[in-house]
């Protein structure tokens, strides 16, 4: 069984086939780099893997759960980081994550650990999300993922808008997760990404995966 | 069931906390409601009897408009930043989200009514003959209004013409609340010779039916929008 | 449970004969041999009802000529409630089965039902003027309930068009929620107006008190038949229209899919 499996997956966005029949298989523990131009469907694919975008036709499974019928199960088991941020603007970082931890049955110490890990200071924790910069907001959203330690990490342009230090930090966090055996899908224009972990490059064009088959020799991309 | 109540409570507290910070209802909606109430008075003859007769209806017409605004605000919290995803990844049941949001809208509406009803009594010189009836009818009517308001404002999320579509859908659906709450208040104010308590019973029935129907359908609504 | 809509069958999407199918469908209407003859029979029925109602049935002792309105009014009111029952059924079935068939039924029945409901209200007003001395009586239970129902269904149709056709699944679900919520509240609306109305003018059903004359009764029954035929005929056409809309949507989608795949394949080739 694979962590992610798409067979002719079609996802619509406002009546437009954002994913036009995706075939993709990702093994457990694999690190996949999704590449492609704007509008190629990378974000939609990640959103579908996270259980947010509806599957219009085809079959797709994430962690063995059917994306057509069991999206609620998927949503609770994966971590998605994308431009929506998905945090309440008028609550502080701490309030957002504490509330979420109570719903998701996650220990408070795990939240503290992730704030520590991402250098989110106490001052920052007490500020409403609306007052944080885009990069800071993204770090708070990432903190939630770290606290959950999901089996699949779905990162949509995680490096955009980050300063050098934060990028460094994110590299470390991702490689840690990869070493711990998590399956990671990263969508990025950036070609130089991974910090020494093996990554498979998957190219998307016009809503279709053009070479999703496992590469013969996996390429190690160095930053 | 305990998990459901806990989740609904988390959503309820979250919404109230945001309301406390943004002062949306207390800061903007409440003055609006009060203005409408005062200026309604000008549209009638200065005859006291007409105003007294109209007071119960006026109050609930204003609350009806306020509900539309409050329910829309409540849903906007979830669509900004797609923040509802935080709840969904947290594994909250959609029905619990619904109940929690209804709860917070109910509390906000009750707060508005707390100012509106005494205001109407003072301005239109009505007499409250039965305070328990006022309280019971307000509670029943408010839960009913908030329930339908939250359900329909979720239905119109993302619709361009939602500002007009929402009232068009909302008003006929809550027409029993408008009728029943006005009657009950009429009895409590001593202007209509009706049994206000049986009208309050109808309000309770409306609230329960819509809460159940809404909670049952809410997960499908969240999945498909 | 299968939550994928039927119109997204992969074989339809991958079909390269999409344009051919579109051509053949452009010439296709919403009619068939059966619906044609059904339409003919309905038309004859309408003419027959008019002849019976206007010329054969004698004027009522109490209501005079106004009684003739009843032959349209009562059947169309009943037809409207029947159609809204179908909308409720279609809405529930869509939410449980997710088959587009039920959604189209709900939408079609809502449109036809709203038409009949409007007809019932207008004829009721015309009848009320000479009989009750007023076009509109706020105190009447059935009148007010029917009006609220009419407004709910207008809201249903207005919002359906506001939701648009870009995402039929989402539109169908939202519409179903409105349909079910609306139907659930109708008994409460009825009860509230029942208590609210201090005075009810509406006829207690004339059918059951046995005072109605044989010929009048016969004509009324004929009216039910004609409205029933019209309901079937209009539903068939409206349903087929909805079906064709979905087919068109599916074809446009399959063309868009095809175009995207072609684009991907070409770009991939040009790179390697």
Q: What is the pLDDT of residues A184-204, one digit of tens each?
A: 999 987 655 544 557 888 989
C-alpha B43/C-alpha B46 separation (Å) is 9
Put simply, whether B115 touches C (Cβ < 8 Å) is no
Distance from CA of C239 to the nearest CA of A (A): 22
Indicate the length of chain C as a whole number.
Answer: 272
Alpha helices in chain B (DSSP H): 2-22, 24, 30-43, 48-79, 84-89, 94-123, 131-155, 162-173, 175-188, 196-224
Q: Which of B185, B198, B220, B221 to mutate to test the interface with C (most CBs of C within 10 A)?
A: B220
C-alpha A64/C-alpha A61 separation (Å) is 5
In this complex, which of C162, C182, C189 lies closest to B161 when CB atoms are compared? C162
DSSP A55: P
Q: Which residues of A touch C268 (CB under 8 A)?
A: 203, 205, 210-211
C-alpha A73/C-alpha B60 separation (Å) is 42
Q: Which two tokens stand for residue B168?
A: 């068009």
In this complex, which of C174, C180, C192 lies closest to B179 when CB atoms are compared? C192
Q: What is the pLDDT of residues A57-110, one digit of tens each?
A: 999 999 999 998 899 999 999 999 999 989 999 999 999 999 999 999 999 999
Beta strand A198-205 pairing with A31-35 = parallel
Q: Which of B175, B180, B185, B202 to mutate to test the interface with C (most CBs of C within 10 A)?
A: B175
Domains of chain A in sequence order: 2-85+152-221 (3.40.50.300)
* Residue C7, pLDDT score: 40
Alpha-carbon distances of A100 from A148, B3, B12, B34, B85, rounded to whole Å: 10, 14, 14, 37, 10
**A50 to chain B: nearest residue by CA?**
B89
Q: What is the pLDDT of residues C242-269, one digit of tens each?
A: 999 999 999 999 999 999 999 988 888 8
Percentage of chain B beyond pLDDT 70 is 98
Question: Mean pLDDT, to the nearest integer, of B157-176?
Answer: 93
Predicted confidence band of residue C9 (pLDDT cuts 50, 70, 90): very low
CB pairs under 8 A between A and C: 64
Put simply, whether C169 touches A (Cβ < 8 Å) is yes
pLDDT at B1 over 70: yes
From chain C residues 71-110, the ones with a CB under 8 A of any chain B CB are 95
Domains of chain C in sequence order: 34-54+63-247 (1.20.120)
Predicted confidence band of residue A51 (pLDDT cuts 50, 70, 90): very high
DSSP A130: G
* Residue A167, pLDDT score: 87
Of C195, C110, C189, nearest in space to B174 by CA: C189
Provide the 10 A C-beta neighbour count for residue C11.
7
Provide the whole-model pTM.
Answer: 0.90
Report yes or no: A125 and A93 within 8 Å, Cβ to Cβ. Answer: yes
Please judge whether C95 and B209 are an interchain contact, meaning their C-beta atoms are less than 8 angstroms apart: no
Please judge whether B225 and C170 are an interchain contact, meaning their C-beta atoms are less than 8 angstroms apart: yes
In this complex, which of A84, A103, A144 lies closest to B91 when CB atoms are compared? A103
Q: Which two tokens stand for residue C131?
A: 């009989």
ipTM of the complex: 0.93
Q: Which two tokens stand for residue A18?
A: 């954002």
* Residue C22, pLDDT score: 54
Alpha carbon of residue A92 to chain centroid: 22
Report yes or no: A10 and C13 within 8 Å, Cβ to Cβ. Answer: yes
DSSP secondary structure string for all residues of A161-220? T--HHHHHHHHHHHHHHHHTT-EEEEE-S-SS--SSSEEEEEEEETTEESS-SPPSSPEE
User: How many domains does one find in chain B?
Assistant: 1
Alpha-carbon distances of A61 from A130, A153, B69, rounded to whole Å: 35, 15, 40
Task: Give the H/E segment covering residue A222.
Answer: none
| Of A23-32, B168-177, C40-49, C124-133, minimum mean pLDDT range | C124-133
Q: Which residues of B touch C191 (CB under 8 A)?
A: 176, 202
Q: What is the pLDDT of residues C173-204, one digit of tens each?
A: 999 999 999 999 998 988 888 777 655 556 55
Q: Which of C96, C152, C155 to mutate to test the interface with B (most CBs of B within 10 A)?
A: C155
């Amino acid at each position: 069984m694979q962590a992610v499996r798409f067979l002719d997956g079609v996802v619509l966005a406002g009546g437009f086939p954002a994913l036009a029949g995706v075939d993709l298989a990702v093994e457990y523990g694999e690190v996949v780099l999704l590449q492609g131009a704007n509008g190629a469907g990378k974000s939609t694919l990640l959103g579908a893997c996270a259980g947010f975008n509806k599957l219009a036709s085809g079959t797709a499974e994430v962690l063995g759960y059917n994306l057509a019928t069991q999206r609620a199960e998927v949503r609770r088991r994966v971590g998605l980081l994308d431009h929506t941020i998905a945090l309440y603007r008028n609550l502080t970082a701490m309030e957002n994550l504490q509330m979420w931890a109570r719903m998701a049955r996650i220990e408070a110490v795990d939240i503290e650990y992730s704030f520590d890990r991402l250098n989110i200071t106490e001052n920052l924790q007490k500020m409403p999300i609306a007052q944080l910069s885009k990069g800071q907001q993204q770090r708070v959203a990432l903190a939630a993922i770290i606290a959950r330690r999901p089996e699949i990490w779905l990162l949509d342009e995680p490096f955009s808008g980050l300063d050098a230090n934060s990028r460094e930090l994110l590299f470390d966090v991702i490689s840690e997760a990869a070493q711990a055996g998590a399956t990671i899908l990263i969508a990025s224009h950036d070609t130089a990404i991974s910090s020494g972990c093996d990554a498979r490059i998957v190219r998307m064009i016009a809503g279709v995966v053009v070479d999703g088959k496992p590469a013969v020799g996996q390429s190690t991309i160095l930053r | 069931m305990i998990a459901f109540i806990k989740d609904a409570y988390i959503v309820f507290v979250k919404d109230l906390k945001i309301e406390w910070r943004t002062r949306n209802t207390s800061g903007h909606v409440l003055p609006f409601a009060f203005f409408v109430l005062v200026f309604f008075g000008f549209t009638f003859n200065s005859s006291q009897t007409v105003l007294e007769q109209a007071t119960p209806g006026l109050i609930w017409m204003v609350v009806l408009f306020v509900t539309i605004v409050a329910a829309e605000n409540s849903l906007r919290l979830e669509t900004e930043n797609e923040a509802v995803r935080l709840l969904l990844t947290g594994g909250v049941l959609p029905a619990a989200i619904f109940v929690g949001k209804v709860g917070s809208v109910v509390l906000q509406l009750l707060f508005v009514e707390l100012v509106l009803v005494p205001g109407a009594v003072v301005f239109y010189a009505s007499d409250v003959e039965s305070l328990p009836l006022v309280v019971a009818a307000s509670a029943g009517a408010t839960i009913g209004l908030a329930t339908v308001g939250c359900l329909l404002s979720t239905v119109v999320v993302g619709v361009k013409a939602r500002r007009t579509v929402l009232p068009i859908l909302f008003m006929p659906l809550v027409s029993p609340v408008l009728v029943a709450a006005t009657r009950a208040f009429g009895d409590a104010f001593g202007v209509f010779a009706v049994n206000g308590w049986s009208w309050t019973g109808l309000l309770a029935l409306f609230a329960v039916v819509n809460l159940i129907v809404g909670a049952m359908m809410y997960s499908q609504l969240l999945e498909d929008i | 449970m299968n939550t994928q809509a039927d119109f997204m069958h992969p074989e339809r999407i991958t079909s390269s004969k999409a344009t051919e199918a579109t051509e053949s469908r452009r010439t296709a209407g919403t009619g068939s041999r059966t619906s044609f003859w059904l339409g003919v029979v309905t038309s004859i029925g309408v003419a027959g009802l008019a002849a019976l109602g206007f010329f054969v049935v004698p004027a009522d002792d109490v209501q005079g000529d106004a009684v003739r309105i009843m032959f349209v009014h009562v059947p169309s009111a009943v037809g409207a409630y029947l159609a809204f029952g179908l909308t409720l059924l279609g809405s529930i079935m869509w939410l449980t089965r997710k088959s587009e068939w039920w959604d189209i039924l709900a939408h079609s029945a809502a449109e036809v039902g709203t038409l009949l409901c409007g007809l019932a209200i207008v004829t009721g007003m015309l009848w009320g003027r000479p009989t009750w001395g007023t076009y509109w009586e706020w105190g009447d239970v059935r009148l007010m309930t029917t009006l609220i129902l009419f407004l709910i269904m207008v809201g249903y149709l207005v919002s359906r068009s506001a939701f648009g056709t870009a995402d039929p699944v989402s539109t169908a679900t939202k519409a179903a929620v409105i349909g079910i919520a609306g139907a659930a509240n109708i008994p409460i609306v009825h009860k509230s107006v029942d208590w609210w109305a201090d005075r009810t003018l509406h006829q207690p059903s004339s059918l059951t008190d046995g005072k109605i004359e044989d010929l009048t009764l016969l004509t009324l029954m004929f009216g039910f038949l004609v409205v029933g035929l019209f309901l079937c005929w209009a539903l068939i056409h409206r349903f087929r229209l909805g079906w064709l809309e979905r087919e068109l949507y599916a074809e446009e989608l399959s063309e868009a899919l095809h175009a995207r795949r072609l684009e991907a394949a070409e770009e991939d080739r040009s790179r390697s």
